[in-house]
Chain A
């Protein structure tokens, strides 16, 4: 169990009163959904909250090939016959951890329905194969995250799933905060961080005009990290903030120009 504890305080820069609100949701053990574009700090927030509440955190990165058994558990064969192995969701429910299903829309919908009984007042998890009904530990809480960006309409949560969660709407932090985050996270000086954020905003201005999302905080952190390790800022920006997000030559040229105009 101590494996799942977070021992060092993760750096998290609040954007508003989300820390207090999350605490309230946790006190009532309400399921929480964190929405927002990729790389805007959702996972970091949950990590921080787990640390602050002193609860273990079990994170599952969801993907398309994941089955219900991958969440709940399965029988294994061994020399003595078969042996049951709990999945991460079951473990969390037993030990009273916060279970964080990251990017839940990546999982197929028939997989996600297994969480339903844990999200209503019963707070139970039926292990059909084992014929067991687990009552969730009083400390258990379910948290999911997803990106409501429009890349694929197929990847959306069922209305019946959404209706079970309280929700936080995350977005990229406003400029001053994002600058602080990048500076603290990477140790880069504030002046450089400011310029990186500026370039990020240039790209975000093209959202819906050839770019799907713009540049995430994560990519800005990458650029800062490269610069810290000695890469020339213009190269770092091109590599971390432009090339990953577009193949459109005109857009690339425009963003490159913004980089050259910012780092002289």
Chain B
């Protein structure tokens, strides 16, 4: 070829914009041009959420995948999808990457290497529905099991046949994940493997969800309440009834048929199963949703009222007894808060028969503890053992005056074990029937072992992109910053650089608007209602420009008939009731690059959602004719707050503005006060009845040169007060579900938290309409 000669090794020499990216590119050691094309973009995404060691593991895994000899596709799929996978499971790369790599190696060694790419391509979609490492592990295990049992196993042929079902499984996985729990997937796959391992076509049909039995089996496995379907209700439940807002993390129930995993909580959140069937016991049935609520309530109880006990000096039996008693204590307290919980607890709690366990042959300790546990909660327990009754009475006495305590109840539990001890407790044969109380957590937080030191999790903070670009444009403006310690301003403390936002492709914004055509139509209807008619007729005026004939006649009649006529017989006209000017200020800090979790948004970043929302809002405001400006900000220490104009007050909502919006990028930190002041300075110059500063942010004020979080918060509060005295109303829409702790401190009553970030595009415009109605 004479022209366009481009050796393969060229890609390795590719220049990346950023030196750090360049270093990672070198580490990847990759010669594929298509990978080089997108590498920078993929990496920015990873850099915003990965720690340094995570980055290293990510690139190393990518390097291995690039050397499989399967072209650029698997590597592209991995680079693009993986950060979203890690984001979906809450950052826990360490527990799942090794398994993904092992799966890839296994496929590579088998005739199934062409499934590697489909596997990687759907991983993120599956992770959004099954957002924990635990659930993904089940998914991978099911796939590997299918592969092992269906590859090359057709009569006599050797292992040269790829599994017919495997690529189909991967293709269907996101769909399957939206319908069933991990356990459901496992059972469904098991049926297909068992019945069609030797029938390639039927196997394919089965895993493609084409055959009738495949659908029927899946239908059968679609039982119970899936965590993903009730997550919001559970969040609301925790927040409303218990004032708790820790994250909920689902785990899989697919394996360990014998030893079912048990709920627990740790610093990452409350761990609950990914599905709950309705419970049909001897008592009334309990819905899956209520079972989740029981689990959450129980854990909340421990978090409120339990204190960890030193475990070292107690035997396992003693500890078990303490757990049973303490569980009952906190449940008693929970029932005090919400009496209706007793019904749910008792319906789920076994009611062992008093004579179910033979102490001559069996260790009955669990049986005794389950019985007293029942008796402690159920006034109608029906047991007659005098020792049991005595301890029930002592338990209630301890709780009669207050909450009692873990220590006091532990002492009671130990006394009970001592009092009821039997030789046979030591027997190997354990009585287990009717002793498992499955809404209770595993009580790991109840114990403290002195021998093992508490390991502190070391969090890696090295994750920032180094800002490299030069600042161009106008000289900085200086603003003061409020120092809450000394209660004084630090004069000229912050430098704000302003610039016109760079431009991108305006058509992109039109595409976004197109995507929300239905929503836009709904908004349009609202807008038409709000839109000021050019001339509004005001009737019932004493003084006015025109006589209102209707009322004039009525008054005349009143007058003639001797009653008091209404003097308001004129009408006047008013043009345009709305005189509003609004500045939309966007927090463009780095955290906006994070992808949004579950839901149908296909892993969009907050930034992308913001673009959509802002486009819709700008369009809506333009329809209304309110005057509006849009600007973004971020900061990199007090010496460099950047304020970027996206739309000026006098600009129309047109392609120039759309192009700037399309190029919106996120990076750095959030020095809110300075940005608010700068935006306020523009608003102050406007003439309008109502001046509104609408702030869209996903976190609290922060910057890398400030370690004390309260400082920037106090400064932002001050800035809001300053604006208020200038007649500017500030309102904050926060995307941080934990914002309650600080937003009201800064914004008083003028804020709202959006818990479902996916709904930003519809929320932002309707919020504006609501606020200005």
Contact = CB atoms under 8 A, between A and B. Distances in A.
A159 B727 contact: yes
Interface in B156-208: none
Contact of B565 (A76, A148, A206, A209): A76
B233 A253 contact: yes
Nearest to B555: A77
Given A76-B567, A150-B749, A264-B339, A205 B729 contact: no
B240 interface: yes
Contact of A150 (B340, B342, B580, B751): B751
B565 A77 contact: yes
A261 B755 contact: no
Contact of A152 (B232, B755, B773): B773
B559 interface: yes
Interface in B18-73: none
Nearest to B293: A257
A156 B729 contact: yes
A208 interface: yes
B341 interface: yes
B564 A78 contact: yes
A258 B690 CA distance: 41
A205 B240 contact: yes
B749 A148 contact: yes
Interface string A66-98: 010100001111110000000000000000000
Contacts of B540: 65
Given A202-B241, A264-B340, A154 B567 contact: no
Contacts of A150: 731, 749-752, 771
Most A CB contacts (10 A, CB to CB) among B690, B748, B749, B771 go to: B749
Contacts of B565: 76-78
A44 B57 CA distance: 66
Contacts of B752: 150, 208
Interface string B336-366: 0111111100000000000000000000000
A164 B570 CA distance: 34
Given A69-B542, A255-B240, A153 B339 contact: no
A153 B241 contact: no
Nearest to B343: A264
Given A79-B562, A202-B240, A262-B339, A208 B725 contact: no
Interface size class of B (residues with CB under 8 A): 35 or more
Given A74-B542, A75-B567, A208-B751, A258 B240 contact: yes
B740 A152 contact: no
Contact of B690 (A74, A153, A206, A253): A153
A137 to B, nearest CB: 26
Given A76-B567, A150-B750, A250 B341 contact: no
A151 interface: yes
A76 B753 contact: no
A85 to B, nearest CB: 9
Contacts of A75: 542, 567
Given A203-B240, A208-B753, A210-B755, A261 B340 contact: yes
Contacts of A206: 236, 239-240
Contacts of B755: 209-210
A23 interface: no
B243 interface: yes
A151 B342 CA distance: 39
A154 B690 contact: yes
A152 B771 contact: yes
Contact of A109 (B236, B689, B731): B689
B232 A261 contact: no
Contact of B771 (A65, A74, A154, A262): A154
Contact of B724 (A69, A159, A203): A159
A18 interface: no
Interface in B745-773: 748-753, 755, 770-773
Contacts of A209: 236, 239, 740, 753, 755
A152 B555 CA distance: 37
Contacts of A78: 559, 564-565
Interface in A135-153: 148-153
B429 to A, nearest CB: 40
18 contacts: A65-B540, A75-B567, A77-B559, A150-B731, A151-B771, A152-B772, A153-B731, A153-B750, A154-B771, A159-B725, A159-B727, A208-B740, A208-B751, A209-B740, A253-B233, A254-B233, A254-B237, A264-B342
